[in-house]
């Protein structure tokens, strides 16, 4: 029997008061596949990720994540999704290790997983310093650790390589890249990089779907048109 | 329990690091008692007046803590981090109540002896077991109502204003019941506290525990 889609959307709409942030998005993402979302600032990429993470309720339409319909069965999704947004979701006054241990306890994850992840992103040596003393790139590496701490089935990544230098991007690649083997939704502004890792491409403009297509049907010019 | 433990531990660790809340609450209470000491210009207070001074000061100090209770969650993504975890959302209510209770106990360990020293007459020594029972019941009320009000206020832009505006009226019954039950202990000669005021405190605590349990989930919704 074929695996259930990681994500299934039918007419998904999200409004903030009068303003429609996301309108009529419909698509299906197979298990283990990667959806890359392109669009200018304010196109609705972050809103889409937050709805899929159960942090926002859909205003209209249907959304199913990992087989659970949102928002009613959102509790079945939490803990199976890794969310990496613009904010690290870590406390500035706590150290990286303290932050990750806090999230490990919330997710019921063994604490040795924290040390393992810190080593993998080369942050073990700075793990006991408060976040406020670390660079944005280091905090992003810790945020990646937080997002994958509980070994989620689906990763929701909002420009995950922002603030990372090439070496750091290489360190996090096995955790959040294609090689992680997880289903992923990646919001990106990098046409070449995004198309290279996509199984499905969604173009958004002003909250509306410009295109949903396989990567071979999308080129840089089509993506560039979203930004004009 | 795992989530509650993680949240309480995190809140206490944050307070130990930042020292933003408890020192401000304790300092406020101390300054208030010093001001009352000089402003009332009496050698000693007793009865209703002493109880009123004690509890109004504790209430206002508590409001300082209430205002800071969810700031880290709101400003540093703590709400999102919590909501992404597979835990009952009530865990945050229980943890915040527990954290605020801890803050209040620490503040009272400093403020109540200062109150005795600065404002209570030598003959008005309280019956400690009864005073401790009143403090415990009142602290539960302050913590539960305060957490609920803080959860409401933090979602608004004017949270520093909304917090006290919501918290203070809701805590009037706690202050009345706490002051009325404490007043006999501060009388000369000291009397026993009236059971009906302790019952009012306990009942008010119970009502707000149930109310907070019923509505707190909705405060965390987007």
| DSSP conformation letters of B137-205 | HHHHHHHHHHHHHHHHHTTSTTHHHHHHHHHHHHHHHHHHHHHHHHGGGGSSS--PPPHHHHHHHHHHH
Domains of chain A: 7-226 (3.40.50.300)
Of B34-38, B53-57, B125-129, B191-195, the poorest mean pLDDT is in B125-129
Chain B residues close to A146, C-beta within 8 Å: 81
**Alpha carbon of residue A157 to chain centroid:** 2
Q: Dump pLDDT digits (tens) for B98-133.
A: 999 999 999 999 999 999 888 886 665 667 788 899
Cα-only R_g, chain B = 18
Q: Does B16 touch chain A (CB under 8 A)?
A: no
Low-confidence ranges of chain A (pLDDT < 50): none
Extract the tokens encoding A166.
């090439």
Give the per-residue pLDDT at A4.
80
Find, among A217, A166, A220, A165, the residue nearest to A188 by Cα. A220
Using alpha carbons, list the distances in angstroms from residue A219 to A96, A194, B212: 39, 11, 53
A54 vs B1, more confident: A54
**Residues 93-112 in B contacting A (C-alpha not used; CB under 8 Å):** none
Give the per-residue pLDDT at B6.
95
Q: Dump pLDDT digits (tens) for A4-55.
A: 899 999 999 999 998 999 999 999 999 999 999 999 999 999 999 999 999 9
DSSP run (H or E) holding A34: strand A34-38
Give the per-residue pLDDT at B121.
67
Phi/psi region, residue B19 (left: phi>0; alpha: psi -120 to 50; beta: rest), is: left
Q: Which domain holds residue B45?
A: 2-220
**Rounded to the nearest 5 degrees, what angle is found at the Cα of B98, between the Cα atoms of B136 and B16?**
110
Using alpha carbons, list the distances in angstroms from residue B122 to B108, B117, B125, B188, B198: 20, 9, 7, 10, 26
DSSP run (H or E) holding A156: strand A154-158
B100 C-beta neighbours (distance < 10 Å), count: 26
Extract the tokens encoding B65.
């803590």
Total domains present in chain B: 1
A16 C-beta neighbours (distance < 10 Å), count: 12
B218 C-beta neighbours (distance < 10 Å), count: 9
| Interface mutation target, options B9, B14, B86, B88, chain A, most CBs of A under 10 Å | B86
């Amino acid at each position: 029997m074929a695996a259930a889609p990681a994500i299934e959307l039918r007419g998904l709409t999200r409004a903030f008061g009068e303003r429609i942030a996301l309108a009529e998005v419909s698509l299906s993402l197979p298990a283990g596949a990667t959806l890359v979302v392109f669009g200018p600032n304010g196109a609705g990429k972050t809103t889409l990720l937050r709805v899929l993470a159960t942090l926002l309720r859909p205003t209209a339409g249907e959304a199913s994540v990992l087989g659970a319909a949102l928002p009613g069965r959102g509790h079945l999704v939490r803990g199976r999704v890794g969310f990496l947004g613009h904010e690290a979701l870590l406390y500035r006054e706590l150290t990286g290790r303290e932050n990750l241990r806090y999230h490990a306890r919330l997710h019921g994850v063994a604490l040795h997983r924290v040390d393992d992840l810190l080593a993998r992103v080369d942050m073990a040596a700075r793990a006991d310093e408060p976040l406020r003393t670390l660079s944005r790139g280091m905090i992003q590496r810790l945020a990646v650790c937080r997002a994958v701490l509980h070994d989620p089935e689906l990763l929701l990544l909002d420009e995950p390589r922002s603030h990372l230098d090439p070496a750091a991007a290489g360190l996090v690649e096995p955790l959040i890249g294609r090689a992680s083997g997880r289903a992923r939704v990646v919001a990106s502004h990098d046409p070449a990089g995004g198309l290279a890792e996509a199984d499905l491409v969604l173009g958004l403009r002003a909250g509306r779907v410009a295109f949903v297509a396989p990567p071979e049907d999308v080129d840089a010019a089509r993506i560039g048109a979203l930004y004009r | 329990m795992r989530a509650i433990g993680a949240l309480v531990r995190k809140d206490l660790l944050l307070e130990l690091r930042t020292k933003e809340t408890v020192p401000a609450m304790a300092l406020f209470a101390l300054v208030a008692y010093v001001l009352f000491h000089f402003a009332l210009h009496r050698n000693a207070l007793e009865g209703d007046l002493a109880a009123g001074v004690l509890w109004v000061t504790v209430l206002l100090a508590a409001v300082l803590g209430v205002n800071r209770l969810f700031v880290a969650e709101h400003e540093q993504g703590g709400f999102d981090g919590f909501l992404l975890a597979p835990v009952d959302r009530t865990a945050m209510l229980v943890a915040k109540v527990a954290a605020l209770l801890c803050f209040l106990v620490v503040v009272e360990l400093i403020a109540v002896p200062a109150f005795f020293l600065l404002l209570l007459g030598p003959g008005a020594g309280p019956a400690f077991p009864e005073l401790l029972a009143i403090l415990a019941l009142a602290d539960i009320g302050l913590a539960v109502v305060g957490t609920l009000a803080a959860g409401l206020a933090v979602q608004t832009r004017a949270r520093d204003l909304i917090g006290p505006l919501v918290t203070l009226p809701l805590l009037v019954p706690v202050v009345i019941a706490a002051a009325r039950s404490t007043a006999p202990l501060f009388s000369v000669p000291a009397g026993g506290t009236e059971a009906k005021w302790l019952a009012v405190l306990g009942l008010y605590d119970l009502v707000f525990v149930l109310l907070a349990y019923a509505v707190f989930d909705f405060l965390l919704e987007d």
